[in-house]
Amino acid sequence: MSAAKQRQLRRNDYSLDEQQQAVHEAFADFFTAECPSSRVRAAEPLGFDQALWGKVRELGAVSMAVPADRGGDGATLIDLVLVAEQYGRVLAPVPLIEAVAAARLLARLDADAAADFLAATLTGEMLPTLALHQVGHDPRQIVPAGAVARQVLALHGQELVLITAAAPPEHVENMAHASLAWWDLSAQSGDRQVLAAGPRAVEAFAAAVREWKLLTGAALASSGDDAVRLAVDFVSSRTAFGQLVGSFQAVANAIVDAATAVSAARNLTRKAAWFAEYAPHERRELQPMAYLASARAAVQAATTAVHVQGGFGFSVESDVTLHFRRAKGWSVLAGDPSRELFDIAAHLPASFQ
């Protein structure tokens, strides 16, 4: 109740500029045209569509993620978030986020080998992915895109290593119909190359996981947005008890709450991307907040959409079930999203005191 100390004045502009709007539209058009839900279903359960992945790469979705001085097109994290949104909206069966996060991690490393791997990644000869959890007592973990990739970047102790397998391990079925596989990341396994070591390796890996979460959050929020759209379409055309389903206040309010959560999560994710790009040492709690909000919003939106579609929403024929499976199936791969709260808590004193 006493006078607060003078605060920083910050702009609060969530709008897309012309170039960002162009990225948004280009990828929205592309994914809408190329990836109807039938294509998502056709790629199940492996969750990989080789032809689509080729087109995504051709469009530059991987190369744009790499800085210009490392051979890429130097897009910002904001641009990458806008791409991930469109990927998530259609639930495209391609390892986009893993490839982007891995490529950017390689680009962050000094080793010559890393540069070679990065070059191979940019040409498409190689498709690396990322093991999200530091390798500990148990050398095995579930790796996203691990069923379609032959290379995994992993943090083993303080060593950042690239593990190469002769062929991707067997796909493991999962709720999201994602390209998951169990990888053995122990020192003994396969072809193993140390790309970096020490605190810098640890920080480079942590940054890659943060980016994977940022982009996955963007995808989740947009998945939620599409689930809301499907819910709105359904309840605006079906009747019950003599009126349109969507005119019942309880139905409408559930959708409103889901749409609200999704809108907030999308804006918060974009804001977090802005800070990560332009002010990476400030407001570091924004990235875990954005990821947490997006994971929760996606589950809320999918659950709501299933429910307001009634029996139809619970039948696999309904496309909301596609979103439902990814909402949880994607958001738990990096561990319980609510554990982000500890990361948030670690940053609060610096940001608010």
Partner 1 sequence: MDFSTVELTDETREFRRDVSEFLDVHLNEAVLETERRTGAGHSQPLHRALASRGWVQPTWPVDEGGAGLDPLQNRILQLELADRDAPMISSGTTRIVVGAVRSYGSPWLKEQVLPAVAAGEVICCLGYTEPDGGSDLAGVRTGAVRDGTGWVINGAKMFTTGAQHCQYCFLVTRTNTEVPKHKGITTFLVPLDRAGIEIRPIETLGGERTNAVFYTDVRIEDDYRLGPVDQGWKVLSGPLSDEHGLQRGDAELDEINGQGAGYRATLDRLFRHALHWALTAGPDGSRPYDEPFVQLRLAEIATDLEIARSTPGAMGRVNGSELLIRDSALLVDLVGPTAVLPHGATGASEDGLFEWGHRYAQGTATYGGTTDIMRNIVAQRVLGLPRPPRFDG
Residue numbers of the site for its own copies (CB under 8 A)? 248-250, 253
Within a 10 A sphere around the Cβ of 159, how many other Cβ atoms? 18
Min dist CB 248 to its own copies, Å, is 6
Determine if 250 is a binding residue for partner 1 (CB under 8 A): yes
Within a 10 A sphere around the Cβ of 269, how many other Cβ atoms? 32
Min dist CB 1 to partner 1, Å, is 6
Distance CA 121, CA 63 (A): 9
The 214-233 site mask, x for binding partner 1 (CB under 8 A), equals: --------------x---x-
Amino acid at 242: G
Min dist CB 249 to partner 1, Å, is 7
Return the sign of the alpha-carbon dihedral for residues 95, 101, 105, 107. Answer: positive
Q: Which is nearer to partner 1, 37 or 193 (CB)?
A: 37
Find all residues with CB under 8 Å of 200, minimum gap 6, and list them: none
Stretch that binds partner 1, among 65-73, 119-127, 136-144, 145-153 (CB under 8 A): 136-144
Q: Between β-strands 239-240 and 159-164, what pairing exists: parallel, antiparallel or unpaired?
A: unpaired
Distance CA 129, CA 149 (A): 6
Q: Which is nearer to partner 1, 4 or 68 (CB)?
A: 4
Residue 17 binds which entry of partner 1, its own copies, none, CB below 5-8 Å type-dependent: partner 1
Min dist CB 342 to its own copies, Å, is 17
Q: Which is nearer to its own copies, 257 or 277 (CB)?
A: 257
Q: What is the DSSP string of 233-301?
A: HHHTT-EETTEEGGGSHHHHHHHHHHHHHHHHHHHHHHHHHHHHHH-TTS-TTHHHHHHHHHHHHHHHH
How many residues can be counted in the chain? 353
Determine if 259 is a binding residue for partner 1 (CB under 8 A): yes
Min dist CB 152 to partner 1, Å, is 15
Q: 135 - beta bridge partners?
A: 156
Q: Which is nearer to its own copies, 38 or 249 (CB)?
A: 249
Site for partner 1 in 315-344 (CB under 8 A): 315-317, 321, 324-325, 328-329, 331-333, 335-339, 341-342, 344
Stretch that binds partner 1, among 102-110, 149-157, 204-212, 301-309 (CB under 8 A): 301-309
CA terminus-to-terminus distance, the chain: 16
Residue 337 binds which entry of its own copies, partner 1, none, CB below 5-8 Å type-dependent: partner 1
Number of residues forming the site for partner 1 (CB under 8 A): 104
Min dist CB 274 to partner 1, Å, is 5
CA atoms within 13 A on the CB side of 268: 24
266 near 81, Cβ under 8 Å? no
Residue 336 binds which entry of partner 1, its own copies, none, CB below 5-8 Å type-dependent: partner 1
CA atoms within 13 A on the CB side of 9: 0
146 near 129, Cβ under 8 Å? yes
Q: 6 - beta bridge partners?
A: none
The 276-295 site mask, x for binding partner 1 (CB under 8 A), equals: --xx-----xx--x--xx--
Q: Which is nearer to partner 1, 34 or 44 (CB)?
A: 44
Min dist CB 275 to partner 1, Å, is 7
